[in-house]
Each structure stands twice: as C-alpha cells, then as structure tokens.
Amino acid sequence: MPYRSMIHVQVRLRIRGREEQYVACPVSAAGGRSLHVQVPRGEGGLPWVAEGTEVELLQRDGLHTATGRVRARSLRPVPSYAVELTESMLDKVLFMAKEGRAVLVTGGKGGTGKTFVSTALSLLLARQGARVALVDADLGTADVAVNLGLPKQPHLGHLLEGKKKLEDVLRRNVRPNLSVLPGATGTRFSDPSAWKLGTILTVVQSLRPQFDFVIVDSRAGIGSDVTSLFAGVDRVVFVTADEPAGLSDTLELLQSFAEIGRGPGALVVNRVHSYRSSVDRLLAFRSRAREETGIDVPLWGVLQEDPRVHVLAGAGRLLVEELPLSPTSVALRQLAARVQAL
C-alpha cells in the first residue's frame, strides 16, 4: 500500500527506557517501512542514540505496541532518526495520522506579499469551513497580527523563551474558524538559534491534530529559519514578484528547497501589473527552475497589484474580505481551492 510521505503525527516512543511524545513522519522508502522521528533539541531533549537502538511505539493508553530499530540518523535539516518498523507498527502510526496539513508561505525577497498571501489564504480556507491556524514565524519583523488588527503580544517569542505556553499565545477564533499565533517582534528574536527553530517546527506539528490547516508565514531569504521549516510541512508556496532580481532570488531558494525539502512546492507570483505580459515569462521561469533544480513548481497563482490593498490596509481591512470580486481576490480564492485539495 502506498503511504503518503508527508503526514506528520504525534507518537509516543520509548527509547532507551525514556518515554516521550515525538513528531514523526511515516515514510515508505525503497520498499522499506520507516518512521522519520524528529529529535527534540535543547534542555530535556533526548540524547543522540546509536544506530541499532531499539525503539518502542506506545499506544495512547501507554501499553507497549510494537518495536523498531534506529537504522540511520541525520542532523540536517532537522535532527532525526529513521526507525525501521514492523508493518503492524506503521499501520498503527497511520491510524493516528488524521491530522491537518501544513503549508509554508515563503519567498526569496521581502515585500513580495508573503504575509498578504498567507493571511488571505488562511481567511479563505476558514470561510470554507476548515479549521485554520495561521502561525507567524517571521522572527523579528512579524506583522500578521497588525494586518488582522490583533494585539501583537503575547507572541511566538514568549513561547520560544519558555515564558508562555502554546495555549497562552494562540489567539483562538479571531475570525470564525481562524486562530492566529502572532509572530515574535524585537531584535532578540531575529537571530534564531537551532533550538528555537526546532521549537517552531514542534509548534507547527503540535497544532496539526487540532486544525485542518496550519499556514506558516515566514520571512524572506535562504536563512536556516526558513529552510529548517521545509522538512516539516506538506507544501511550500513560494511567493515572488515578476522582476529579474526577485525571480533570481526565488531560483536560489528553490535550489535549497530541492536539496532539503521533502514535500512539493508551488509558485505564486504577486504584485503583477499585467497578467498577459507576465504569464509567458513566468512559464519560462518555471521551465528554467525545473532544469536548474530538478524540481517542478507549478504556478498556483498570478496576483495583480491592486492599489486598493493599501487604502484598505490603512483602515485595518483586507482585500479578500472587502472586495471579494476583485481579480486579485478571485485569484486568491483559486489558490485556496488548490490548498483545500491537498
């Protein structure tokens, strides 16, 4: 039976006598059945175990279920073990895998509209009845909360520092079906250390069981705060502008995505002035990206620049809510339909 390779599940494992909750991704690679288990870092994290170490999967009631062995270990992009499983164990894991899908919205450059897209996408999915968590993982220059007219604190930074719990920082139902985790603001968060990155991934994974979609807004660039999230999501949406420098940066980012990412990507081109004059160039860009990176990123949206976005933003309002029939809103709804179908 083919298994979806990017389902992330919370599992209880006992490794070297120590029992903990882990985030894992069942994969079926080269005919084998394994589980990629993310290793928590920092204080209280599990020490690095040797290959061959026995791993036990525990059911929710704590009863021992089945065993596997650590077959391989890797440090990048996220420290993880590959655990070779018995078939019954994998089926149990998949049984627990009724979880939401995570989508990362990122891009090579700032100002291309990543936050605009992730906010609109989250709102539209929520309006269709999906339970959505929008996580602002833009460390230092977060603005999802401002765009939605929400208080900026408490935020993800307080969670990363251990001063607040997830429940304290997650703003539930700010619109029907939409919960928001405001991003960290302030310079002390702008240089994320590895443990913080691991924690953001853990936050994303722990939201999956409660939501149908976890939409993650990130900052621009090829920094580890962005690339470390590649491995923990089902789909990466790259938002770019149709101009040479922006497309060149996007290609750069796609290159690291091709090396690290496990799920597929998609491209959204925003702030376009004329659809007609852009579309041929964008299709050519897609072919070039395929040749240079070896991966295919389908074009999931071409969004026009709309001057009313700024006017509305000044009044704390959003285009998709106020002008649902504008060409940009229509294209955003098509994007939401693609994500809905994931």
Ligand X SMILES: Nc1ncnc2c1ncn2[C@@H]1O[C@H](COP(=O)(O)OP(=O)(O)O)[C@@H](O)[C@H]1O
For ligand X, the binding residues (CB under 6 A) are 107, 110-116, 270-271, 303, 305-306, 309-310, 313, 328
Residue 101 or 114 with smaller CB distance to Mg ion: 114
Q: With binding defined as CB under 5 A, does residue 329 bind Mg ion? A: no
Q: With binding defined as CB under 5 A, does residue 118 bind Mg ion? A: no
Residue 111 or 149 with smaller CB distance to ligand X: 111
38, 80, 106, 115: which one binds Mg ion (CB under 5 A): 115
Q: Which does 306 bind (CB under 5 to 8 A by kind): ligand X, Mg ion, none?
A: ligand X
Q: How far, in Å, CA of 319 to CA of 143, rounded?
A: 16
What b/e readout covers 32-59, taking b as 16+ CB neighbours within 10 angstroms? ebbbbbbbbbeeeebeebeeeeebbbbe
Q: Which does 313 bind (CB under 5 to 8 A by kind): ligand X, Mg ion, none?
A: ligand X
CA 96 to chain centre: 20
**Strand 132-136 and strand 178-181: pairing?**
parallel
Q: Which does 328 bind (CB under 5 to 8 A by kind): ligand X, Mg ion, none?
A: ligand X
Q: Which does 56 bind (CB under 5 to 8 A by kind): Mg ion, ligand X, none?
A: none
Q: Identify whether the C-beta of residue 289 lies closer than 8 Å to the C-beta of residue 254.
A: yes
What mask of x and - would describe binding to Mg ion in positions 95 to 114, judged by CB under 5 A? -------------------x
DSSP string, 250-318: HHHHHHHHHHH--S-EEEEEEEES-HHHHHHHHHHHHHHHHHHHS----EEEEEE--THHHHHHHTT--
Residue 216 or 331 with smaller CB distance to Mg ion: 216
Residue 20 or 305 with smaller CB distance to ligand X: 305
Rounded to the nearest whole angstrom, what is the least distance from the CB of residue 141 to ligand X in the complex?
8
Q: Identify whether the C-beta of residue 184 lies closer than 8 Å to the C-beta of residue 145.
A: no
Q: How far, in Å, CA of 50 to CA of 106, rounded?
A: 35
Residue 52 or 273 with smaller CB distance to ligand X: 273
C-alpha dist (Å) from residue 31 to 3, 87, 247, 289? 11, 12, 38, 30
DSSP letter, residue 17: T
Residue 23 or 197 with smaller CB distance to Mg ion: 197
Residue 27 or 174 with smaller CB distance to Mg ion: 174
Q: Which does 111 bind (CB under 5 to 8 A by kind): ligand X, Mg ion, none?
A: ligand X
Residue 56 or 305 with smaller CB distance to ligand X: 305
For helices 327-340 and 114-127, the axis angle rounded to 10 degrees is 70
Residues contacting Mg ion: total by CB under 5 A: 2
Q: Which residue is nearest to Mg ion (CB)?
A: 115
Q: With binding defined as CB under 5 A, does residue 185 bind Mg ion? A: no
Rounded to the nearest whole angstrom, what is the least distance from the CB of residue 21 to Mg ion in the complex?
31
Beta-carbon contacts of residue 75 (< 8 Å; ≥ 6 apart): none
Q: With binding defined as CB under 5 A, does residue 227 bind Mg ion? A: no
- 105, 103, 207, 200: which is closest to 159 by C-alpha? 200
Rounded to the nearest whole angstrom, what is the least distance from the CB of residue 123 to ligand X in the complex?
14
Beta-carbon contacts of residue 17 (< 8 Å; ≥ 6 apart): none
Q: Which does 271 bind (CB under 5 to 8 A by kind): Mg ion, ligand X, none?
A: ligand X
Interaction site with Mg ion (CB under 5 A): 114-115
